[in-house]
Amino acid sequence: MYKKIALAYSGGLDTTVIVPWLKENFGCEVVAVCGDVGQECDWAGLEARALASGASKLIVMDLKKQFVEDYLWPLVKSGAAYEGRYLLGTSAARPLLAKSLAETALAEGADAVAHGCTGKGNDQVRFELGIRAAAPDLEIIAPWRIWDISSREEEIAYLEARGIPVPMKKEDSYSRDDNLWHVSHEGLDLEDPASEPRWEGMLRMCSTPEKAPNVPEYVELGFEKGVPVALNGVRMGGVELISALNVAAGRHGIGVVDMVENRVVGMKSRGVYETPAGTVILDAHARLEQLCLDR
């Protein structure tokens, strides 16, 4: 049995359920660990939510600058786009989150880590390879691969039976991941490939075409050594630049992708992705390469 487990915690439904489940099944202390990579979050209420679910404490790491400089800028320089469309917002963040989780677990004296990735997606591989690389001796617990909970409805019932606040509404239970670079949406009506996304109630960063401005907006990006360093003539750090460009590009509905991708386990998955700033930056970088690089 384990004495202390460090859980990759987001405050969403899955990790809220995992905290009491770990305590009930392993009789251990659970430390909630959250990496701030620019996701939308009620940071003021996150600690209260973690403690209410049974965690002994919450540790939040500010990873935004490292995420941009060590992960997003290399992505931009390489022109990385999955099947030419998806700009890897989730994929780019996972190695950093896994590394930081492992390092925090070791610093806290934990003998295991846990994550909320399902047994059907790519995240389980990303997290576990990252954890193994950073801390080979840490045990890894993946509740979704071993518990008997099989749906979000059962997760909600699990929390309600224990008097733990449910961090979502049943009617809006898209599986979402967001950070400074993007927002992804999966599940519900998107699982039917014939279903048109319900754009109005889904999009978080981008406007629908009906609500986008009818006049163009011009932006100017300044690059140095392949990395954007200025927006509209104002020098700024990467976090600030991406944040500002997300607002400008997002209000024009730029960067929305609806696609089907192939998972490493052999399944296909449909997702809607919003990457406004990333779409503009990668397009600008590609055009800059046309000017600067020999054939």
Distance CA 123, CA 118 (A): 8
Q: Which residues pair with 248 in a beta bridge?
A: none
123 is known as an active-site residue: yes
Catalytic site residue from 123, 126, 178, 269: 123
Q: Considering only CA atoms, which of 49, 61, 48 is closest in space to residue 104?
A: 61
Catalytic site residue from 175, 184, 207, 269: 175
With beta carbons less than 8 A apart as the criterion, state whether 287 and 228 touch.
Answer: no
What's the helix, strand, coil split of the chain in %, to 5?
45, 20, 35
Residue 226 structure tokens:
């392949």
Residue 113's SS3 state is: strand
Q: Considering only CA atoms, which of 87, 75, 76 is closest in space to residue 284?
A: 76
Q: How far is CA 238 from the centre of its chain?
A: 18
111 is known as an active-site residue: no
62 is known as an active-site residue: no
Helices (H), 38-122: 43-53, 64-67, 73-78, 89-108
Catalytic site residue from 49, 94, 176, 270: 94
Distance CA 133, CA 244 (A): 34
91 is known as an active-site residue: no
| Orientation of helix 276-292 relative to helix 238-250, angle to 10° | 110
Catalytic site residue from 14, 53, 207, 270: 14
Distance CA 125, CA 145 (A): 13
Query: What is the torsional sign of CA 155, 160, 163, 168?
Result: positive
With beta carbons less than 8 A apart as the criterion, state whether 57 and 33 touch.
Answer: no
Q: List active site positions.
A: 14, 94, 123, 175
